[in-house]
Amino acid sequence: MQQKSPGKLQQFFHFPEGDGLATDEFIKGLWRENPVLVQVLGMCPTLAVTNSATNAIAMGLATLFVLVMSNVLVSSLRKVIPKQVRIATYILIIATFVTVADYVIQAISLEVHKALGAFIALIVVNCIILGRAEAFASKNTVWKSLMDGLGMGIGFTFALLLLGTVREILGNGTLFGFPFFPDSFQEWVIMILPGGGFFTLAFWLLFFNGMKARKKDNHTEVHPEKESVEEVYV
Protein backbone atom coordinates (compact mmCIF):
# COMPACT_ATOMS: atom_id res chain seq x y z
CA MET A 1 0.00 0.00 0.00
CA GLN A 2 2.72 2.40 0.99
CA GLN A 3 4.68 1.54 -2.10
CA LYS A 4 1.74 1.91 -4.43
CA SER A 5 0.29 5.30 -3.44
CA PRO A 6 3.27 7.53 -4.31
CA GLY A 7 3.42 5.79 -7.67
CA LYS A 8 -0.22 6.55 -8.29
CA LEU A 9 0.24 10.08 -7.09
CA GLN A 10 3.25 10.41 -9.32
CA GLN A 11 1.20 9.20 -12.26
CA PHE A 12 -1.69 11.48 -11.41
CA PHE A 13 0.29 14.65 -11.06
CA HIS A 14 3.09 13.70 -13.45
CA PHE A 15 5.81 15.61 -11.67
CA PRO A 16 8.49 16.62 -14.08
CA GLU A 17 11.70 14.66 -13.70
CA GLY A 18 14.20 17.17 -14.93
CA ASP A 19 12.78 17.30 -18.46
CA GLY A 20 11.44 20.83 -17.95
CA LEU A 21 8.10 20.03 -19.58
CA ALA A 22 5.94 21.77 -17.00
CA THR A 23 8.29 24.74 -16.98
CA ASP A 24 7.65 25.11 -20.64
CA GLU A 25 3.87 25.08 -20.00
CA PHE A 26 4.45 27.94 -17.59
CA ILE A 27 6.67 30.00 -19.85
CA LYS A 28 4.58 29.71 -23.00
CA GLY A 29 1.71 31.68 -21.45
CA LEU A 30 3.94 34.60 -20.55
CA TRP A 31 5.14 35.35 -24.01
CA ARG A 32 4.94 32.86 -26.87
CA GLU A 33 1.23 32.16 -26.47
CA ASN A 34 0.29 35.20 -24.41
CA PRO A 35 -3.53 35.09 -24.15
CA VAL A 36 -4.03 38.77 -25.02
CA LEU A 37 -1.07 39.78 -27.15
CA VAL A 38 -0.81 36.59 -29.24
CA GLN A 39 -4.08 34.68 -28.96
CA VAL A 40 -6.16 37.90 -28.74
CA LEU A 41 -8.60 36.29 -26.31
CA GLY A 42 -10.46 37.87 -23.40
CA MET A 43 -10.94 41.18 -25.16
CA CYS A 44 -13.91 42.23 -23.00
CA PRO A 45 -11.97 42.73 -19.72
CA THR A 46 -8.86 43.80 -21.64
CA LEU A 47 -10.63 46.77 -23.18
CA ALA A 48 -13.16 47.55 -20.49
CA VAL A 49 -11.34 47.68 -17.16
CA THR A 50 -7.85 48.83 -18.11
CA ASN A 51 -8.53 52.54 -17.68
CA SER A 52 -6.23 52.55 -14.65
CA ALA A 53 -3.28 50.42 -13.59
CA THR A 54 -4.95 49.50 -10.30
CA ASN A 55 -8.04 48.16 -12.04
CA ALA A 56 -5.85 46.26 -14.49
CA ILE A 57 -3.88 44.57 -11.69
CA ALA A 58 -7.04 43.69 -9.74
CA MET A 59 -8.70 42.23 -12.82
CA GLY A 60 -5.55 40.33 -13.77
CA LEU A 61 -5.10 38.81 -10.33
CA ALA A 62 -8.77 37.82 -10.05
CA THR A 63 -8.56 36.12 -13.43
CA LEU A 64 -5.27 34.48 -12.48
CA PHE A 65 -6.85 33.01 -9.35
CA VAL A 66 -9.90 31.70 -11.18
CA LEU A 67 -7.78 30.35 -14.00
CA VAL A 68 -5.40 28.42 -11.77
CA MET A 69 -8.12 26.99 -9.52
CA SER A 70 -10.42 25.97 -12.36
CA ASN A 71 -7.54 24.46 -14.31
CA VAL A 72 -6.52 22.36 -11.33
CA LEU A 73 -10.07 21.21 -10.57
CA VAL A 74 -10.98 20.50 -14.18
CA SER A 75 -7.76 18.59 -14.66
CA SER A 76 -8.21 16.46 -11.56
CA LEU A 77 -11.82 15.68 -12.52
CA ARG A 78 -11.05 15.12 -16.20
CA LYS A 79 -11.57 11.35 -16.03
CA VAL A 80 -14.88 11.71 -14.14
CA ILE A 81 -16.66 14.39 -16.18
CA PRO A 82 -18.84 12.90 -18.94
CA LYS A 83 -17.98 14.28 -22.33
CA GLN A 84 -21.55 15.38 -23.13
CA VAL A 85 -21.88 17.78 -20.21
CA ARG A 86 -18.28 18.92 -19.93
CA ILE A 87 -18.84 22.58 -20.93
CA ALA A 88 -21.64 22.99 -18.40
CA THR A 89 -19.45 21.41 -15.75
CA TYR A 90 -16.54 23.72 -16.57
CA ILE A 91 -18.80 26.76 -16.34
CA LEU A 92 -20.08 25.56 -12.97
CA ILE A 93 -16.53 25.11 -11.67
CA ILE A 94 -15.44 28.49 -13.03
CA ALA A 95 -18.53 30.24 -11.62
CA THR A 96 -17.76 28.84 -8.19
CA PHE A 97 -14.30 30.34 -8.15
CA VAL A 98 -15.53 33.60 -9.62
CA THR A 99 -17.95 33.91 -6.71
CA VAL A 100 -15.04 33.35 -4.33
CA ALA A 101 -12.96 36.00 -6.14
CA ASP A 102 -15.91 38.40 -6.10
CA TYR A 103 -16.29 38.19 -2.32
CA VAL A 104 -12.54 38.37 -1.71
CA ILE A 105 -12.22 41.57 -3.77
CA GLN A 106 -15.22 43.04 -1.97
CA ALA A 107 -13.56 42.26 1.36
CA ILE A 108 -10.18 43.71 0.39
CA SER A 109 -11.28 46.90 -1.34
CA LEU A 110 -14.80 48.05 -1.93
CA GLU A 111 -13.51 50.81 -4.21
CA VAL A 112 -11.87 48.41 -6.62
CA HIS A 113 -14.96 46.23 -6.50
CA LYS A 114 -17.09 49.18 -7.52
CA ALA A 115 -14.66 50.20 -10.26
CA LEU A 116 -14.63 46.73 -11.80
CA GLY A 117 -18.42 46.45 -11.49
CA ALA A 118 -20.04 43.75 -13.59
CA PHE A 119 -16.75 42.69 -15.08
CA ILE A 120 -15.89 40.54 -12.05
CA ALA A 121 -19.00 38.44 -12.61
CA LEU A 122 -18.18 38.37 -16.30
CA ILE A 123 -14.93 36.47 -15.60
CA VAL A 124 -17.23 33.43 -15.81
CA VAL A 125 -17.52 33.88 -19.55
CA ASN A 126 -13.91 34.94 -20.08
CA CYS A 127 -12.91 32.79 -23.04
CA ILE A 128 -9.33 32.40 -21.82
CA ILE A 129 -10.50 30.42 -18.80
CA LEU A 130 -12.97 28.23 -20.68
CA GLY A 131 -10.44 27.88 -23.47
CA ARG A 132 -7.70 26.64 -21.14
CA ALA A 133 -10.14 24.26 -19.43
CA GLU A 134 -11.30 22.79 -22.74
CA ALA A 135 -8.04 22.85 -24.68
CA PHE A 136 -5.53 22.10 -21.96
CA ALA A 137 -6.72 21.12 -18.49
CA SER A 138 -9.12 18.44 -19.73
CA LYS A 139 -6.29 16.67 -21.52
CA ASN A 140 -3.31 17.15 -19.21
CA THR A 141 -2.13 16.28 -15.72
CA VAL A 142 -2.87 18.43 -12.71
CA TRP A 143 0.72 19.63 -12.36
CA LYS A 144 0.93 20.71 -15.99
CA SER A 145 -2.49 22.37 -15.82
CA LEU A 146 -1.45 24.27 -12.73
CA MET A 147 1.65 25.56 -14.49
CA ASP A 148 -0.38 26.37 -17.60
CA GLY A 149 -2.94 28.32 -15.53
CA LEU A 150 -0.21 30.23 -13.73
CA GLY A 151 1.58 31.10 -16.94
CA MET A 152 -1.54 32.19 -18.80
CA GLY A 153 -2.82 34.15 -15.79
CA ILE A 154 0.44 36.01 -15.32
CA GLY A 155 0.64 36.65 -19.07
CA PHE A 156 -2.90 38.07 -18.94
CA THR A 157 -2.09 40.28 -15.95
CA PHE A 158 1.06 41.49 -17.70
CA ALA A 159 -0.86 42.47 -20.84
CA LEU A 160 -3.58 44.21 -18.81
CA LEU A 161 -0.95 46.11 -16.87
CA LEU A 162 0.68 47.26 -20.11
CA LEU A 163 -2.63 48.72 -21.28
CA GLY A 164 -3.62 50.10 -17.89
CA THR A 165 -0.30 51.90 -17.36
CA VAL A 166 -0.33 53.69 -20.69
CA ARG A 167 -3.99 54.61 -20.43
CA GLU A 168 -3.75 55.92 -16.87
CA ILE A 169 -0.59 57.94 -17.52
CA LEU A 170 -1.91 59.62 -20.66
CA GLY A 171 -5.56 59.81 -19.71
CA ASN A 172 -5.25 60.90 -16.13
CA GLY A 173 -1.64 61.93 -15.59
CA THR A 174 -1.29 59.46 -12.71
CA LEU A 175 0.08 55.96 -12.11
CA PHE A 176 -1.56 53.71 -9.49
CA GLY A 177 -3.37 56.82 -8.33
CA PHE A 178 -0.17 58.81 -7.67
CA PRO A 179 0.63 61.86 -9.79
CA PHE A 180 2.99 60.94 -12.62
CA PHE A 181 3.26 64.32 -14.30
CA PRO A 182 3.38 67.87 -12.90
CA ASP A 183 0.04 69.46 -12.17
CA SER A 184 -0.10 71.36 -15.44
CA PHE A 185 -0.28 68.19 -17.55
CA GLN A 186 -3.08 68.25 -20.11
CA GLU A 187 -4.94 64.93 -19.90
CA TRP A 188 -5.87 63.06 -23.09
CA VAL A 189 -9.42 62.28 -22.08
CA ILE A 190 -9.84 59.81 -24.93
CA MET A 191 -7.35 57.40 -23.37
CA ILE A 192 -9.63 56.55 -20.45
CA LEU A 193 -12.66 56.36 -22.75
CA PRO A 194 -13.39 53.07 -24.60
CA GLY A 195 -11.77 54.40 -27.78
CA GLY A 196 -8.44 54.77 -26.00
CA GLY A 197 -8.58 51.10 -25.02
CA PHE A 198 -8.75 50.08 -28.67
CA PHE A 199 -5.94 52.45 -29.67
CA THR A 200 -3.63 51.30 -26.87
CA LEU A 201 -4.30 47.63 -27.56
CA ALA A 202 -3.61 48.21 -31.24
CA PHE A 203 -0.31 49.93 -30.45
CA TRP A 204 0.83 47.10 -28.17
CA LEU A 205 -0.19 44.43 -30.69
CA LEU A 206 1.71 46.33 -33.37
CA PHE A 207 4.75 46.57 -31.12
CA PHE A 208 4.80 42.88 -30.15
CA ASN A 209 4.06 41.64 -33.64
CA GLY A 210 6.86 43.84 -34.93
CA MET A 211 9.25 42.36 -32.37
CA LYS A 212 8.12 38.84 -33.24
CA ALA A 213 8.59 39.46 -36.94
CA ARG A 214 12.08 40.77 -36.31
CA LYS A 215 12.92 37.75 -34.13
CA LYS A 216 11.55 35.40 -36.77
CA ASP A 217 13.76 36.94 -39.42
CA ASN A 218 16.82 36.31 -37.26
CA HIS A 219 15.98 32.77 -36.13
CA THR A 220 14.04 31.19 -38.96
CA GLU A 221 16.37 28.24 -39.26
CA VAL A 222 17.15 27.79 -35.57
CA HIS A 223 13.75 27.02 -34.02
CA PRO A 224 11.29 26.19 -36.75
CA GLU A 225 9.20 23.93 -34.43
CA LYS A 226 8.51 26.69 -31.93
CA GLU A 227 6.08 28.42 -34.26
CA SER A 228 3.29 25.90 -33.65
CA VAL A 229 0.65 27.60 -31.58
CA GLU A 230 -2.28 25.61 -30.24
CA GLU A 231 -5.45 26.58 -32.01
CA VAL A 232 -8.29 27.31 -29.66
CA TYR A 233 -11.78 28.09 -30.86
CA VAL A 234 -14.01 29.42 -28.15
Among 91, 190, 205, 234, binds another protein (CB under 8 A): 190
* Residue closer to another protein, measured from CB, 183 or 231: 183
Taking alpha carbons only, the member of 15, 120, 133, 112 closest to residue 67 is 133
Separation of CA 131 from chain center: 11
Q: Is 189 in the site for another protein (CB under 8 A)?
A: yes
Bridge partners (DSSP) listed for residue 178: 175
* Residue closer to another protein, measured from CB, 12 or 188: 188
89-108 positions binding another protein, by CB under 8 A: none
Binding part of the chain for another protein, among 42-50, 122-130, 137-145, 189-197 by CB under 8 A, reads 189-197
Number of residues that bind another protein (CB under 8 A): 11
Query: Which of the 8 DSSP states describes residue 37?
Result: T
127-186 positions binding another protein, by CB under 8 A: 181, 184-186
Q: Is 188 in the site for another protein (CB under 8 A)?
A: yes
Taking alpha carbons only, the member of 48, 57, 75 closest to residue 138 is 75
* Residue closer to another protein, measured from CB, 11 or 209: 209
Q: Can you say whether residue 173 is alpha, beta or left, with left for phi > 0 and alpha for psi between -120 and 50 degrees?
A: left
Among 117, 177, 179, 195, binds another protein (CB under 8 A): 195
Counting Cβ atoms within 10 Å, is residue 116 exposed (0-12), middle (13-18) or buried (19+)?
buried
Query: Which of the 8 DSSP states describes residue 87?
Result: H
Rule CB under 8 A: which residues touch another protein?
181, 184-186, 188-191, 193, 195, 199
